[in-house]
Amino acid sequence: MNDIERKPFLIFKSRDSYEQAKAREEVRDDAIVFIREDGTIWTHGYMFGGAVEHAKGFFKSVDLLPSGIEGDWAIVKVDNGWYIYTYNSNTSLWEQTE
């Protein structure tokens, strides 16, 4: 296992460089990957974002999350881990993704 495979957080300048690393199986499925070029985040087989206005940032707890609208997402520390939360406008609640 090389250094990139061990890291839980990865940052790539472009979508192409991310796709190349993924093709080489250098990106863990549970890694949180930030792609600067298009403002997206990839984790657990899902791509989030693209629309920077919906990215709310990093929060130290769920209690600190702001009011949201459909499409909003944030990264929240829960216990010793970081999780992606999305805003559900049907319930008016932030929900942890898988």
For the chain, give every domain's residue range: 3-49, 56-96
Identify the band that residue 51 occupies on the pLDDT scale cut at 50, 70 and 90. Answer: low
Is 90's pLDDT higher than 70?
yes
* Fold observed for domain 3-49: YefM-like fold (3.40.1620)
Is 1's pLDDT higher than 80?
no
Question: pTM of the predicted model, to two decimals?
Answer: 0.51
Is 2's pLDDT higher than 80?
no
Is 46's pLDDT higher than 80?
no
pLDDT at 63: 93
Where do the DSSP E strands lie in 1-98?
Answer: 9-12, 32-35, 40-43, 46-49, 55-59, 73-78, 81-88, 93-96
Give tens-digit pLDDT for 52-65.
Answer: 677 788 899 999 99
Do residues 10 and 20 lie in contact, with contact meaning Cβ atoms separated by under 8 Å? no
